[in-house]
Amino acid sequence: MTKLNGGRKVLGSYGRMGILLVAIGVLLAIDSFSRMNIMYKLWPMLCTVSGIGFIGIYQQRARREAAYIVVGSFLIQFSLLALYCNFTTWSALALFWPFFIGMFGVSMILGFIFGKRSPAMFLSGLLTLSAGTVFFLVFGLDPGLWWSIFFLAGGSFFVFDKSRRTR
């Protein structure tokens, strides 16, 4: 089914769903006839499609709620991390587990930007993102790298400190 949009033919929701199902069917057929195991590696793309669907629901609704953006962006970020783990190793999650906390913080900040501008949502998103970053730095990095991080942070403080330079 097509709709006319400004004189152009645009696929309706049934047409888009049909194209998506045909694409999934082609991937499944290639996966079953070959020995490449495509769907075994690309299953996170279903999470990406779901995330895009949530963002699409947000765009089509008259009353736009930030929850659709938060859930959609979290699903997209999760699928990127899962694709990385599929093509490398899932034992990488022993290092990257704080990313889940940070992804939720990023999703809340995106909900603030595109949804209703609640300062509580922005603050909680920043706190959650900061907690994920601190957990990654503390538990994920080698303790020998801490000195370099301290020197980089201290040096950047002196370089970017405008109040000291204006005196």
pTM over 0.85: no
Q: What is the dihedral of CA 126, 129, 133, 135, to 10 degrees?
A: 110
Same domain, 23 and 84: no
- Specify the amino acid at residue 30: I
Exposed, middle or buried by CB within 10 Å (0-12, 13-18, 19+), for 96? middle
In a domain, 29, yes or no: yes
User: In the numeric block, which tokens belong to residue 18?
Assistant: 């049909």
Q: Which residue has the tokens 């290092």?
A: 95
- Please indicate, yes or no, whether residues 15 and 83 belong to a single structural domain of this protein: no
Q: What is the pLDDT of residue 1?
A: 47
Q: Are 115 and 66 in contact (CB under 8 A)?
A: yes
Same domain, 124 and 52: yes
Q: Domain check: are 70 and 148 in the same one?
A: yes
Q: Do residues 54 and 32 both lie within one domain?
A: no
pLDDT tens digit at each of 167 positions of the chain? 455 556 667 666 667 777 878 887 887 787 777 776 777 777 888 889 889 888 888 888 777 788 888 999 999 999 999 999 988 888 988 888 999 999 999 999 998 998 878 888 899 999 999 999 989 888 877 777 777 877 888 888 878 776 666 65
In a domain, 167, yes or no: no
Same domain, 86 and 53: yes
**Distance (Å, rounded) from C-alpha 126 to C-alpha 135?**
14
**Residues 65 and 130 both lie in one domain:** yes
103: tokens are 């992804």
Indicate whether 30 and 48 sit together in one domain.
Answer: no
Q: Say whether both 28 and 95 belong to one domain.
A: no
Is the domain of 47 the same as that of 128?
yes
| Residue 27 sits in the same domain as residue 81 | no
Residue 166 lies in a domain: no
Query: Is residue 73 one of the residues assigned to a domain?
Result: yes
Residues 54 and 29 grouped into a single domain: no
Domain that holds residue 152: 43-160
Domain count for the chain: 2
